[in-house]
Amino acid sequence: MPLNLSDDDPDLEKRLSDELDAINDAAVAATDHRNLAIRLTDDDGTLIGGITGYTWGGCGGLTSLWLSPAHRGQGHGTRLLTAAEAEIRRRGCDRVVVATMSFHAPGFYLRHGYREVGRTPGMPGNTTKHHFHKHLA
């Protein structure tokens, strides 16, 4: 049986994700996995920032939050996070999880009521990955 190594294999990524989703759904009796994506654009449609994630089994997860450097510090990150949390609640979830690198935004999540629940040290550049959880009231 040959092994095939590559830098990128979108078909394999999708297949593995689908297979693991099936196992996860069966293990927790939840089949309500949905992706979440919110774009922030300027008036001409240029992307300023966005947030992506998912909902599944009563839990929301945030996978990416990005803002263009020119638009940081103006409240747009809070707008995106607030919109994502509102949609996660609307979908019936009562909690949300997110991870961020030490040089990205741990303070941002702490300011928004997230509680740090773990750290993964020794990431590239001697950085740390911070794991957060928030109960949505």
pLDDT of residue 21: 86
pLDDT in tens, the chain (137 residues): 999 999 999 999 999 999 998 898 889 888 898 999 999 999 999 999 999 999 999 999 999 999 999 999 999 999 999 999 999 999 999 999 999 999 999 999 999 999 999 999 999 999 999 999 999 98
pLDDT of residue 60: 98
Residue with tokens 């920032």: 49
pLDDT tens across 117-134, in order?
999 999 999 999 999 999
Right CATH for 32-135 from 3.40.630.30, 3.40.50.300, 2.30.30.100, 3.30.70.250: 3.40.630.30
Listed by start position, the domains of the chain span 32-135
Q: What is the pTM of this model?
A: 0.89
pLDDT of residue 30: 87
pLDDT of residue 68: 97
Phi-psi region of 62 (alpha: psi -120 to 50; beta: other; left: phi over 0): beta
pLDDT of residue 59: 97
Alpha carbon 112 to chain centroid, angstroms: 15
Residues 6 or more apart in contact with residue 32 via CB below 8 angstroms: 55, 56, 57, 91
Dihedral pair phi/psi, residue 4, rounded to 5°: -120, 110
- Distance CA(72)–CA(54), nearest Å, equals 24
pLDDT of residue 137: 83
